[in-house]
Amino acid sequence: MSSIVVTLAHKEVARLLLDRNITKQTDFEWIAQLRYYRNDKVVEVSVFDATIEYGYEYNYRRQSIVNTPLTDRCFRTILQAYRYHLYSGIVGPTSCGKTETVRSLTGALAKLFYIVNCNNSVSYDCATRIFKGVVSCGAWVCFENFDRLKQELLSAIAQNLTQMKQAVSSNSKTINFDGCDLTLNVSGHVCVNVDSAQTGYTDLPDNLKVLFRFVSMTAPDIGRIAEIELFAGGFLHAKKLAAKLAVTYKLLSEHLGERRYYNFSASSLKTVVATAIDMKRNVPDENEHTLLLRSMIDINIPQLCTADIPVFQRIVRDVFPESDVLPSFDCSAILKALESVCAKRSLVAHPIFKLKIIQIIELMIKGTRLAPQ
């Protein structure tokens, strides 16, 4: 699937260049693309006037992200920040693809990449060790939820980043970092993610903000993402199904989005698409609308309260009026074992209890993460 997604992205770039009659290397639409050049024995990657040497680092990715104008703008902002010896930051809502976008870019550059989840366990010593790795081996690091760090730690990090920036800007060969003399590798980069739903960005110290070039990631184009992934997964009616899926999730967000523990984000939609693709591989002759409908039911019903299930059913019925629901897997053996265990432990096998057990098993089979409410 990754090869298909990448090929479709290249196809759209080629179509854009042909439609706009791009013939010169200085045309804006050409220099705005991620371009690879071989100079002597070195491969370089360029966007605008930013050029970085290809890293030859293997980064395993199960599947490439779908390129959209939003991800392209993010790529360009990050590489322009790198070009001018600044760091990059992405501001956006939860589950909009901030970290995956950075991961995709480092994959294209073949750079060593690490993700750091910023929580209470991140101390000054921990941050210092990370920065030592960045300056010595040229790794790219993404700090998730950067705004959750304490103010005193952010001030200390600002001093470290300022020292790193000054060393790179002055073309120094070495850097004395926290008492250690290190050989400076200028290919390293620091990227941070900030949740726009919180007030974290406004709370960042001013001496830290000036070191970063921030880009805003609004709601992703879920219709386009679903269409590309469904097409790559073998769906013949991917465009029509993606449009219906996007409408369904928009209606669910409008009618049920007030409950904070419901997840109708892009990550949930991608889980539905991935589940539908798995079903397509198992039953390739089944109606594609039926497969997508079954996937939506399996992923979304377990998280809904009993009172909200009729609302979900009405929305799905309106969007998929002629589709049948594919039956779920045979759970008779599991129910029999469950009733036996309940009898041995003097427990009541209530129908709701059995239903939730089956839903949990279905989600586990599909590889979905669980968070009991």
How would you write the pLDDT of the chain (373 residues) with one tens digit per residue?
Answer: 677 888 888 888 888 888 888 888 888 888 888 899 998 888 999 999 889 888 888 877 666 788 888 888 999 999 999 999 999 999 888 777 888 889 989 988 989 999 988 887 788 888 888 888 888 888 899 998 888 888 888 888 888 899 889 888 888 888 888 788 888 888 889 999 988 766 555 677 888 888 999 988 877 788 888 888 898 888 888 889 999 999 998 888 888 867 767 778 888 888 888 888 988 888 888 888 888 888 888 888 877 887 888 888 888 888 888 766 544 556 677 777 878 888 888 888 777 777 777 777 766 665 555 555 5
Give the residue among 126, 1, 105 at the shortest CA–CA distance from 55.
105
- CATH class for the region spanning 222-327: mainly alpha
| Strands 42-47 and 113-117, bridge-based pairing | unpaired
Give the fold, CATH level 3, of 64-216.
Rossmann fold (3.40.50)
Domain boundaries, the chain: 64-216, 222-327, 328-372
pLDDT digit string, tens, across residues 13-59: 888 888 888 888 888 888 888 899 998 888 999 999 889 888 888 87
Q: Which residue has the tokens 């089956």?
A: 358
pLDDT digit string, tens, across residues 163-173: 889 888 888 88
DSSP 173: S
Please report the pLDDT score of residue 326 as a whole number.
47
Please report the pLDDT score of residue 195 as a whole number.
81
Burial classification of residue 232, based on how many CB atoms lie within 10 Å of its CB (0-12 exposed, 13-18 middle, 19 or more buried): buried
For residue 95, give the amino acid letter: S
Contacts of 240 (CB under 8 A, 6+ apart): none
Q: Which two tokens stand for residue 35?
A: 């371009």
CB hemisphere CA count around 109 (13 angstroms): 27
Give the residue among 305, 234, 232, 299 at the shortest CA–CA distance from 269.
299
CA distance 11 to 16: 9
Q: Assess whether the region 64-216 and the region 222-327 belong to the same CATH fold.
A: no
CB 115 within 8 A of CB 140: no
CB 201 within 8 A of CB 90: no
CB 7 within 8 A of CB 230: no
Contacts of 185 (CB under 8 A, 6+ apart): 135, 136, 137, 138
Please report the pLDDT score of residue 346 as a whole number.
82
